[in-house]
Structure 1
Amino acid sequence: MATSLAERGVTVASGLAKGIDTAAHSAALDAGGRTVAVIGTGIRRYYPAANRQLQDQITEVGLVISQFWPDAQPTKQSFPMRNAVMSGYAVATVVVEAGETSGARIQARLALQHGRPVVLTSQVMRCDWAKTFAENPGVYVVHGTVELLEAIEDILSHQPTEAGLENFPDLALR
């Protein structure tokens, strides 16, 4: 999904965590696209440590954002706070996979509270929280990449544009 989005000029924003976040950032970079990492630590920290090289690469060719002091360590509270920043920053949030207590679920809830569209994959729809969220306006349920791209086109076509920024939509992929 990240590859397809990046190839269409959509900036992929994610949290630089293990799993989907790492895959989303890597795929966007491999496709020659733009990516933004919103991290849950200070800007001079690497968390998880395994993503140090990826964070450095994003710093060179993309953007790394942190709301925390430069040397701040990760805390239990910092990641939900990061998700709030990401949901407000991105035009929309796409949830690829998320359990009942996951950060991606938190971000989807916050995105709805921020008035941002949320895209849920059919895999996520197995969760009770996703079924409840799907009843809200601004929530898209997609089955595969083609439907995802259609949903994103619809979302982007309804976004107000600011001078010069219409060609750089950011999308949070979780």
Structure 2
Amino acid sequence: MKAIFGTTGSAGGTDRPWDDVERAALVALLRTRPERMTWQEIAAEVSAEGRATAVWEKLVPSSLFGAEESPREQAMSDIESWRVQGIGFLTFLDPDYPTGLREIHEMPPVLFYRGSLRRGERAVSVVGSRAASDKGLKIAATVSRNLVQRDITVLSGLAKGIDTAAHTAALEAGGRTVACIGTGISRCYPAANSALQEQIAQDGLVLSQFWPDAPPRQQNFPMRNAVMSGYGHVTIIVEAGEKSGARIQARQAVAHGRQVVLTDFVVDGNEWARKLVGRPGVHVAESTKKIMEVVEHVVFSERSTGDLLDQLISLRGGLGHRQ
């Protein structure tokens, strides 16, 4: 899928660098939402204009806030505070922003993280029911260990059940795992996974699209699933019910043009899964071996293509010098 936003480290290719002044203006725009704009509309406007400060000056009257601290000043103070707290902060125009997320309609304009970022990361989502069966937990752990053996990052949502089994198995196998959470980066949900979240932050990456202190809300989790779909190359649904969040991610992954693997007992037990069978990019797997065959075909063929493109860009002096 073609990226819809620029990838340079300066504001839309303008002479002004994309610095904290611009980042603070973007945060202020997202918080005030002038003209009731959505976050996606704000990001599109900033991308088109090339500068968040220019969008702010165009949409927000200078006299609106009077002598009180302006949202831009508050945002600048917050950015400094986040860094002091050890919270990583990215905007969609920063060069380290995950490339795959720029390709989806639900792209978060800002991200918060703890842990280490990796450019060009090859990640695969392993997701499923919170109330998982022993069979589902075993499959999730086996798949995660197989991904680690192939140097593929295990991506999941830190929920109970399948997510927890996937993260834990990846860490125990000495691999990398990324947790995409449905709360602010300063919170943990469920509370029982606080130690696991901390370990992932130390050894992998915890990622959030919500303001740092945001509590868990029902609407957060489908948004989180969309980000997992965009971040990963493949979504594996290990086990799920008719109203599972994994069902939402499977549908989003199809819409994003990502590959989806459904275990055969997910298909046997769910009408939504049977409706996906036959759609482009949807695979049904009756074994762990079949799951890994699909993953290897997708990830390693994309890696070869991506590596070649990176080499060509490097030879041409980077994206900013392409004709």
Matched residue type, 2:219: Q
User: Using the alignment, how far apart are the partners of 2:146 and 2:246 within structure 1?
Assistant: 21
Structure 2 gap segments, 5+ residues each: 1-142, 312-323
Amino acid aligned to 1:130: A
Q: How does 1:50-69 map to 2 (within 5 A)?
A: 50-69=192-211
Aligned-partner Cα distance in 2 for 1:124–1:10: 23
CA distance in 1, matches of 2:216, 2:155: 19
Q: Which runs of 5+ in 1 are unaligned?
A: 165-174
Are 1:94 and 2:251 matched, yes or no? no
Q: Which residue of 1 aligns with 2:288?
A: 145
Q: Which of residues 264, 268, 279 in structure 2 aligns to 1:136?
A: 279
TM score, norm. by length of structure 1: 0.91
1:24 and 2:166 equivalent?
A: yes
Residues 1:161 and 2:310 aligned together = no
Question: Are 1:7 and 1:32, in contact at CA under 8 Å, matched by a contact in 2?
Answer: no
Runs of 4+ deviating beyond 3 Å? none
Which position in structure 2 is the counterpart of 1:5? Answer: 147
C-alpha deviations, 1:41-80, integer Å up to 9, x for none?
0000010000000000000010000000000000010001
Q: Deviations over 1:107-134 (max 9, x none)?
A: 0000011110001111111111111111
Equivalent residue in structure 2 for 1:71, among 199, 207, 213: 213
Distance in 1 (alpha carbons) for counterparts of 2:296 and 2:198: 31
| Secondary structure of 1:123 counterpart | helix
Matched residues, number = 164
Indicate if the aligned counterparts of 1:100 and 1:129 stay in contact, CA closer than 8 A: yes
Match of 1:45 in 2: 187
Write the distance in 1 (CA, Å) between the matches of 2:146 and 2:165. 13
1:169 matched to which residue of 2? none
Instruction: Please tell me the residue identity of whatever aligns with 1:87.
Output: S
Provide, for residues 114-155 of structure 1, a one-character-per-residue CA deviation record: whole Å limited to 9, x for no partner. Answer: 110001111111111111111101111111111111111111
TM-score, scaled relative to structure 2: 0.50
SS at match of 2:209: coil
After superposition, the CA RMSD in angstroms is 1.2
Question: What's the CA shift string for 1:78-129, capped at 9, x where partnerless?
Answer: 0011001111110110000111111000000000111100011111111111
Which of 68, 77, 80 aligns to 2:222? It is 80
Cα deviation for residue 2 of structure 1 reads 0.8
Query: What is the alpha-carbon distance in structure 1 between the residues aligned to residue 150 and residue 301 of structure 2?
Result: 17
Task: Supply the distance in 1 between the matched residues of 2:238 and 2:227 (Cα, whole angstroms).
Answer: 19
Letter in 1 for 2:289: V
Task: Give the superposition deviation at 1:158.
Answer: 3.6
How far off is 1:157 after superposition?
3.7
Equivalent-residue separation in structure 2 for 1:44 and 1:60 (angstroms): 14
Mean Cα displacement is larger for which, 143-152 or 10-19? Answer: 143-152
Partners of 1:41 and 1:112 in 2: how far apart?
Answer: 25
Bigger radius of gyration, 1 or 2? 2
